[in-house]
Amino acid sequence: MARLYVSRGYDVSGTNDQPSPKTLSDLEKLGVVVSYQPDIDVIANDTDLVVYSNAWPKNYPGYFDEVQNLGIKVLSYPEALGEITKEYTTVAIAGTHGKTTTTAMVLHILTKAGISPSGIVGSLLSSTGSNYVSGTSNILVIEADEYMKAFLNHHPAIVGVTNIDHDHHDIYPTLDDMKDTFRQLGENLPEIGTLICSTLDQNSWDTFEDLQRNLIDYSAIDVDDLNLLVPGQFNKRNAQLAIAVCSVLGVLEQNSKKYLESFKGTWRRQEYKGKTKSGQLVYDDYAHHPTEISASLAGFREMYPGKKITVVFQPHLYSRTRELFDDFVEVFASSSIDQIILVPVYAAREAVDESVSSEVLVNKINDIKDSAIFASDIGKVDKEINPNSEVIITMGAGDITSLSDMLIKD
C-alpha cells in the first residue's frame, strides 16, 4: 500500500516496531520516512490517512488509542485496500495455501501478455524485488487474505480460490466457520462476477458448487506439459488457477503456459539462498501449516531425489501448533526428510502457551520416526545440522528466515 500511495504522488511515512531491511530499505529509497518505535509525534498534523496492520491494536493498544484520537481518518490495511479495489476491475486470489504464488503467477502472465496490470502480493517478486506492480490498465490483482475475514472488505469482479483448509483457529474455531466466510466472499461478487475454484478440492466445491455466479473449475486445465522453474505438484495446481484467471481476462491458455515457464517465484517460497561454506544448498520457505509443509517437502524431495535433506522448522503461533499438533507430527514423521530440527514456537501476536512446545512435538515425532531434534537457540542451530546433509531448508512464517542468511554468510 505504501508503494501504491507513493506511485500516486502522496507523501508517505510509516512506523514499524523493528528494523526490516529486506522489506523497508527500498521504501526508504523511495522517500518514505520510516520510524522504528511507536511515537505519536511522528504523524504529521496534515496527514490525510493512517493505515494500520491488524497486529497494531493487539500489540500496542495504548498507542493505537492515541492514533484514533488524532482526528485523522484511520483504516485497517484490508479496509484501505478495499477502497482501492473499487477503482479497478479487481482480481482477488484467495485460499488457505498458495495464494501468494498464484497472485504472482497471474501478474507475471498478464504483464507478459501486455495487459499491464497493477498488483499487490504478500511477498516480494523474485523478478523485481518488489511486492507491488504498477500498471496502466484497469486490472488490479491482489492477494486476498482470509485472516480476520480481511478479504470481505474487498470488491472484486473475479475471485480465484486455491483451496480451503482449516487454519487461523483463533478466528475460525471450526472448518465450517472458515467455509462460511469463503462463501460470503463468493456471494459478495456482483451477479455477473466469476469465481474460479477446483472440484478436486472438496472443501472448495462444497462451499461454492451452488453459488449463483459464473463458476469455473480450474482443475480441468491440462498442465502435464508445463515446465515450471518452481518445483512441486502444488505449484502446478497454482498454475492451473492462474491460467484459468487469465483466460477470463482474454489470455489464451497456450500463451499463459509459455509465459509461466519464465516465472521465478517469490521471496520465501522455496527460495534458494545460496551455499554454506562447505557447499550445502540452503533454501528458505514460508510453509507453516501441515498441508503446506507436506506439499513443500514433497517438492524438495522431487527436486533432490537422492540427496540428504535437513529441515529446520519454527512452529508459528501456539494456537496453530496446539490445534494441529497431531497433523504436524504426522507430516514430519511420514516425510522422507533425513533430519528434522525444531526451534521454539514463534508466538507473534499470541501470549506464551506452556501447554504446547516444540520439545513436546519433537518427542512425539521421534515416537514414530527417530529423526527429530530440538534446538533451543536459532543462533546455534548450525551446530546441530548433520554435516552430511546436502540440502538445508529453513521453514516457517516467523523469524526463522534469519537463519538461512546466517548459514550462507558463515
String of DSSP letters for 268-328: TSSEEEEE-TT--EEEEE---SHHHHHHHHHHHHHHSTTS-EEEEE--B-HHHHHHTHHHH
- What is the SS3 assignment for 267? coil
Question: What is the reported pTM?
Answer: 0.76
Residue at 353 is within a domain: yes
Residue 81 lies in a domain: no
Residue 133 lies in a domain: yes
Do residues 291 and 402 both lie within one domain? Answer: yes
- Asked if 144 contacts 154 with a C-beta cutoff of 8 angstroms, the reply is yes
Tell me, yes or no, whether 398 lies in a domain.
yes
- Per the domain annotation, does 80 fall within a domain? no
Domain boundary among 17, 49, 75: 75
197, pLDDT greater than 80:
yes
User: Rounded distance, CA 356 to CA 339, Å?
Assistant: 22
pLDDT digits (tens, 9 = 90+) for 264-278: 877 677 788 889 999
Residue 229, C-alpha cell as written in the block:
522453474
Sheet-wide strand order for 118-120: 132-133, 118-120, 139-143, 89-94, 158-161, 194-197, 214-217
Cell readout for 105 is 503467477
Integer Cα distance of 176 and 187 in angstroms = 16
How far apart are the C-alpha atoms of 219 and 247, rounded to whole Å?
Answer: 14
256 and 279 fall within a common domain: no
Task: Band the pLDDT of 160: cuts 50, 70, 90.
Answer: very high
What is the reported pLDDT for 175? 93
**Are residues 292 and 391 located together in one domain of the fold?**
yes
Q: pLDDT digits over 103-125, tens only?
A: 999 999 999 999 999 999 877 77
Residues 233 and 286 in one domain: no
CA dist 360 → 132, 322, 366, 396 (Å): 40, 11, 10, 18
- Domain presence at residue 228: yes
In a domain, 310, yes or no: yes
Are 237 and 104 part of one and the same domain? yes
Q: Which domain holds residue 302?
A: 271-409
Whether 169 is in a domain gets the answer yes
Q: Tell me, rounded to whole angstroms, the distance of Cα 162 from its chain centroid.
A: 12
Q: Judging by beta carbons within 10 Å of its beta carbon (0-12, 13-18, 19+), is residue 243 exposed, middle or buried? A: buried
Same domain, 50 and 20: yes
Alpha-carbon distance of 239 to 318, in angstroms, equals 32
Instruction: Judge if 141 and 219 occupy the same domain.
Output: yes
Indicate the residue among 219, 240, 260 that finishes a domain.
260
The pLDDT tens digits for 353-386 are 888 899 999 999 999 988 899 999 988 898 999 9
**Residue 326: pLDDT above 90?**
yes
- Helix, strand, or coil here: 195? strand
For the chain, give me the number of helices (H) and strands (E)? 15, 17
Supply the mean pLDDT for the chain: 91
With b for 16 or more beta-carbon neighbours within 10 A and e for fewer, the 197-216 pattern comes to bbeebebbbebbeebebebb
281 & 247 share domain: no
Vertex 406 angle, CA 396 and 317, to 5°: 20
My answer on whether 253 and 372 are in the same domain is no
One domain for residues 53 and 110: no
Residue type for position 392 = I
Q: Which helix (H) or strand (E) holds 354?
A: none
| Residues 344, 221 share a domain | no
Find the CATH number of the domain harbouring 39: 3.40.50.720
290 against 410, higher pLDDT: 290
Residue 181 makes CB contacts below 8 A (sequence gap 6+) with 146, 149, 152, 172
Our count of domains for the chain comes to: 3
Residues 95 and 233 in one domain: yes
